């Protein structure tokens, strides 16, 4: 209980202190935003701040801060400190950096931001990597909510949930929604539906938080590691596994692909801290609540720890909220996945069209850009559902590729700040840490239980990863100095 409350205090204090420092370094001002100067009625559309904030929250808050932390809490109570600390100095800074760079670059998407700061060759390789990763995200975020919908519908019928009676119907419905959402102007579907979805998510999370506090103060032991809980804890090393498992609550490269979407809808740069940094902090709160709820249920019913995370999710909401309100909360989690998947497809469309210089105002051109992406995602869905091994492989690639994107974003932000003669430590330190994490993971992934990868001993991987991170850090600082310019109104 104590660590949980300390973690919440870190999140709140961090937003008003470290968040203010980050805002001061990036320096949002009153210059016209892309939504004003480049308004096109499709992707560049000014929207109210409260809408932008909820859209950003739902864009970035995939299933990670719920499903991810249900798995991640099995590392132990240390999660209650690592989530808020990593969120404040890593994830929230990462999201703010991506958003501010996009605001100062005419609403550019992440591949363009990487190219501008890291070079054309780096940018070209990253563009291909990121778009592949986004298509993996779309496939995962069709698969997971479709499975949850299948289980929910099966619960109201006589169908055996193991038969996946409604899975492919759910896939078709979710995929169709994704296509429609990415094709239509941002203010039509996303701008109108997301505030409602955001409200459902926050209501469900707050309901669990209130119930959690009531039970926690009566029985503090439910938020501590019981003997039974310790018996079922994950034995894998926290470095690197925890930071790969709990992506969205701490730091997630996927967020950097989403920040440019609302960089094109913001009326003022001064909304950046609340919209980018603040929404990541709020996601950290969501992750903390779900991690605590999972810990409580794992202590009360230790057998739940052996269940798959989506199944454990149902047990958690039923315990805290009952079947009816719990059902609504599960729906909000389904929405959480869906609202990240549709904007992942949208981001992929925007990035590809930006790279190929294809005007996205005409509907036909938007559709033609989407066609190859639709085909690839359909093939991924078919392949990933051949067996459990295929889906686990898809999820594994999504997990580490996501953090590689975070590393690239933070390195680009470091170069961006350096060439403007601004302090770089706020982006360089978390960037190099995550580079150390991902490199270690990739070098030892097979040893750590991944379906594919290398088998280098972990202690050797630590040394190689640390040396590599130091070299990359020197490169980033040197490149920033090489590109050093006087302040440019476009930057």
Per residue in 75-113, pLDDT tens? Answer: 999 999 999 999 999 999 999 999 999 999 999 999 999
Q: Cβ atoms within 10 A of the Cβ of 446, count?
A: 14
Helices (H) and strands (E) in the chain, counts: 22, 0
Residues ≥6 apart with Cβ < 8 Å to 11: 84, 87, 88, 281, 284, 285, 288
Q: Radius of gyration (Cα) for the chain, nearest Å? A: 21
**Mean of pLDDT over the chain:** 87
Torsion, Cα of 226, 232, 234, 235 (10° steps): 90
Owner of token pair 């997971």: 144
Q: Which domain holds residue 249?
A: 2-406
67-81, 344-358, 392-406, 420-434: segment of lowest average pLDDT: 392-406
> Can you spell out the DSSP letters for 274-338?
IIIIHHHHHHHHHHHHHHHHHHHHHHH-GGGGGS-HHHHHHHHHHHHHHHHHHHHHHHHHHHHHH
Q: What pLDDT shows up at residue 390? A: 64
User: Given this model, what pLDDT does residue 489 score?
Assistant: 42
First to last CA, the chain: 45
Q: Alpha-carbon distance 233 to 169, whole Å?
A: 36
pLDDT reported for residue 168: 85
**Rounded distance, CA 357 to CA 353, Å?**
6
Residue 447 lies in a domain: no
What six digits make up the tokens of 430? 């978390």
The pLDDT score that the predictor gives to residue 206 is: 87
- pLDDT score recorded for residue 189: 77
Asked whether the bond before 240 is cis by omega within 30 degrees of 0, the reply is: yes
Q: What is the DSSP string of 25-81?
A: HH---SSPPHHHHT--SSS-----HHHHHHHHHHHH--SIIIIIHHHHGGG-TTHHH
Chain mean position to CA 88:
15
Average pLDDT over residues 399-415: 94
pLDDT in tens, 276-303: 999 999 999 999 999 999 999 999 999 9
Mind listing the pLDDT tens digit for each residue in 155-200? 677 776 556 788 888 888 888 888 888 888 877 777 777 777 777 7
The count of other CB atoms within 10 Å of the CB of residue 193 is: 17
> In terms of C-beta density within 10 A (0-12 exposed, 13-18 middle, 19 or more buried), how is residue 32 classed?
exposed
Reported as a pLDDT band with limits 50, 70 and 90, residue 487 is very low
User: Would you say residue 151 lies in a domain?
Assistant: yes
- Tell me what the mean pLDDT of segment 428-456 comes to: 90
Q: What pLDDT, on a 0 to 100 scale, did the predictor assign at position 327?
A: 67
* 155 token code pair: 């619960």
DSSP assignment string, 326-361: HHHHHHHHHHHHHHHHHHHHHHHHHHHHHHHT---S
Q: With bands split at pLDDT 50, 70 and 90, how would you rate the model's confidence at 490?
A: very low
115 DSSP 8-state letter: H
Least confident of 11-15, 196-200, 397-401, 435-439: 196-200
361: pLDDT strictly greater than 90: no
d(CA 175, CA 180): 9
Q: Nearest 5°: phi and psi at 134?
A: -65, -40
CA pseudo-torsion sign 153, 156, 159, 163: positive
Q: How far apart are CA 223 and CA 214, in angstroms?
A: 12
Distance of alpha carbon 274 from alpha carbon 168, whole angstroms: 39
The answer to whether position 432 is within a domain reads: no
Q: What gap in Å lies between CA 238 and CA 234, rounded to an integer? A: 9
**Of residues 483 and 279, more confidently modeled:** 279
Q: Are 60 and 340 in contact (CB under 8 A)?
A: yes
Question: What is the mean pLDDT of the segment spanning 138-163?
Answer: 75
- CATH number, domain of 385, equals 1.20.1740
Question: Is 388 part of a structural domain of the chain?
Answer: yes
- Could you tell me which of 31, 89, 94 has the C-alpha nearest to residue 276? 94
* Digit-coded pLDDT (tens) for 380-404: 888 877 765 666 677 677 788 889 9
Tens-digit pLDDT profile for residues 209-242: 998 999 888 888 899 999 989 988 988 888 998 8
- Total structural domains within the chain: 1
Does 360 score more than 50 pLDDT? Answer: yes
- Predicted local confidence at residue 404, as pLDDT: 95
Task: Please compute the mean of the pLDDT values over residues 256-261 and round it to a whole number.
Answer: 92
Q: Kindly provide the b/e burial profile for residues 465-480, where b requires at least 16 CB atoms within 10 angstroms of the residue's own CB.
A: beebbeebbeebeebb
Token pair, residue 99, equals: 């958003």
pLDDT in tens, 104-135: 999 999 999 999 999 999 999 999 999 888 88
Which pLDDT belongs to residue 321?
A: 77
**Is 259 contained in some domain?**
yes
Which one is predicted more confidently, 112 or 147? 112
pLDDT digits over 457-468, tens only? 999 999 999 999
* Distance (Å, whole) CA 280 – CA 272: 12
- Rounded to an integer, the average pLDDT of 448-477 is 91
């Amino acid at each position: 209980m104590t660590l949980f409350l300390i973690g919440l205090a870190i999140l709140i204090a961090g937003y008003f202190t470290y968040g203010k420092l980050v805002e001061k370094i990036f320096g949002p001002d009153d210059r016209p935003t892309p939504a004003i100067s480049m308004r096109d009625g499709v992707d560049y559309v000014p929207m109210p701040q409260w809408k932008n904030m909820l859209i950003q929250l739902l864009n970035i808050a995939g299933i990670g801060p719920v499903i991810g932390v249900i798995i991640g809490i099995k590392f132990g109570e240390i999660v209650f400190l690592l989530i808020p600390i990593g969120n404040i100095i890593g994830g929230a800074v990462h999201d703010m950096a991506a958003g501010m760079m996009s605001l100062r670059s005419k609403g550019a998407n992440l591949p363009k931001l990487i190219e501008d700061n890291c070079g054309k060759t780096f940018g070209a390789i990253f563009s291909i990597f990121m778009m592949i990763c986004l298509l993996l995200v779309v496939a995962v975020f069709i698969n997971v909510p479709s499975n949850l919908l299948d289980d929910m519908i099966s619960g109201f019928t006589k169908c055996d949930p193991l038969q996946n009676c409604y899975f492919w119907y759910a896939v078709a419905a979710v995929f169709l929604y994704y296509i429609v959402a990415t094709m239509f102007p941002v203010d039509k579907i996303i701008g109108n539906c997301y505030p409602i979805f955001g409200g459902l998510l926050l209501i469900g999370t707050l309901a669990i938080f209130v119930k959690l506090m009531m039970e926690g103060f009566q029985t503090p032991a439910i938020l501590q590691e019981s003997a039974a809980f310790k018996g079922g804890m994950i034995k894998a090393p926290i470095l690197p596994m925890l930071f790969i498992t709990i992506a969205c609550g701490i730091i997630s490269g996927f967020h950097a692909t989403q920040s440019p979407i609302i960089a094109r809808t913001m009326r003022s740069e001064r909304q950046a801290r609340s919209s980018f940094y603040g929404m990541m902090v709020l996601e950290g709160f969501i992750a903390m609540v779900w991690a605590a709820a999972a810990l409580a249920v794992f202590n009360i019913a230790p057998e739940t720890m052996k269940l798959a995370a989506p199944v454990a999710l149902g047990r958690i909401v039923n315990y805290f909220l009952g079947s009816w309100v719990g059902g609504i909360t599960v729906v909000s989690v389904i929405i959480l996945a869906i609202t990240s998947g549709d904007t992942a497809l949208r981001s992929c469309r925007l990035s590809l069209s930006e790279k190929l210089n294809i005007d996205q105002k005409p509907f036909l051109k938007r559709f033609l850009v989407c066609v190859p992406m639709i085909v690839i995602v359909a093939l991924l869905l078919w392949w990933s559902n051949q067996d459990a091994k295929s889906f686990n492989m898809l999820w594994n690639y999504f997990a580490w590729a996501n953090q590689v994107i975070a590393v690239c974003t933070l390195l680009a932000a470091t170069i961006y700040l350096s060439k403007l003669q601004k302090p770089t430590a706020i982006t360089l330190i978390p960037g190099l840490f995550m580079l150390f994490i991902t490199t270690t993971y990739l070098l030892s992934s097979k040893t750590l239980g991944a379906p594919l990868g290398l088998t280098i001993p972990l202690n050797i991987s630590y040394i190689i990863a640390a040396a590599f991170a130091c070299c990359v850090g020197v490169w980033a600082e040197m490149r920033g100095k090489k590109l050093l310019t006087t302040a440019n109104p476009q930057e």
